[in-house]
Structure 1
């Protein structure tokens, strides 16, 4: 079976939810302010992910040092689509970039990077489709933090509860606590440039 590259997310008509994990030193001030503030870094790329389970795989359910706090970051779909419109894949695709040299040039100049990784089950197993990660570069970080973000929610207690349910064999109860991620619609030209399968 061909693995699908498909954006799946919790979204409504105007906003979409991303997930990020930080240490308390970054998460606490951000939650208090309702937006990202120092010591959140505005000078290096920040990676956002619409798949909660992929981030749980990466952060070990909020147990990795520096990733103990899991935030749901609700952003505008306008900002999200602005990011995707400027994105360059983290690996060259001849049909899109031409040669490797052309991709290198585009990648180095890009404000946004996109990477696809195997999606994960609640138990961490690789699934038969890919999940997107989007790296917001320095040129757009202020726009992301100050204009795209419309709300921050601390999901740490919820993800710890989900993890505890899974570990105790209560997968059905855990599943009911997961966000309702579904395929996100993309314009055909954007999908082709990002190597995404259309929803």
Structure 2
């Protein structure tokens, strides 16, 4: 199946979708052990969630960047994820999607979530010709994410390091076999129509 130019590919079940984030150990380790974000996790700032494991690896350098040493797989409810998409605005103005820049800016100010479409990455973290969703949550969406949508939090840093080691050694086949099995997310057209950009 050909990948759409912009699409959501993720690990998902009938009721949940897995997204990724990376934090310092002071936040990431308690989150994974307690299954919820600790008190020091800031609810008053935007947090970005990424359904693509390899895009997260690109962003955090396989867990090597300062403040991003702990990679988390956060399983959230599909109902919550889809609420965020319905209430999201594109993070940048797109002619043809928005009537004008002023309308887009009003939407962006009101929206508790925002969407960016960034190039998907391969195992060497090189850009691919299609894009993956990054979903920014703020205000009400951050609170819902932490208190209502989160089902489980796992520390996948060892997995990231194992895959990175195989890639560094040139064993791409073994690395690929360890990747989370992401597949197209069955989002109804109406869910993404205002976010295609």
Tell me the TM-score normalized by structure 1: 0.94
Aligned to 1:162: 163
Q: Which runs of 5+ in 2 are unaligned?
A: none
The Cα offsets for residues 111-144 of structure 1, whole Å up to 9 and x where unpaired, read as 0010010000010111011011000112221211
The Cα offsets for residues 4-36 of structure 1, whole Å up to 9 and x where unpaired, read as 001100001000000000001111221222111
Aligned to 2:105: 104
Aligned to 2:69: 68
CA contact (8 A) 1:3 1:128 kept: no
Q: Which runs of 5+ in 1 are unaligned?
A: none
The Cα offsets for residues 65-105 of structure 1, whole Å up to 9 and x where unpaired, read as 00000000000000000000000001122333210011011
Aligned to 2:96, the other structure's residue is in SS state: helix
CA contact (8 A) 2:82 2:191 kept: no
CA distance in 1 between counterparts of 2:47 and 2:14 reads: 25
Aligned to 1:142: 143
Aligned to 1:94, the other structure's residue is in SS state: coil
Q: What is the RMSD of the two structures over their aligned residues, measured on CA atoms? A: 1.4
Q: Runs (4+) of structure 1 moved beyond 6 Å?
A: none
Aligned to 1:179: 180
Aligned to 1:26: 27
The reply on whether 1:90 has 2:95 as its aligned counterpart is: no
Aligned to 1:83, the other structure's residue is in SS state: helix
Aligned to 1:131: 132
Aligned to 2:52: 51
The aligned length equals 195
The reply on whether 1:81 has 2:82 as its aligned counterpart is: yes
Tell me the TM-score normalized by structure 2: 0.95
Shift of 1:3: 7.1
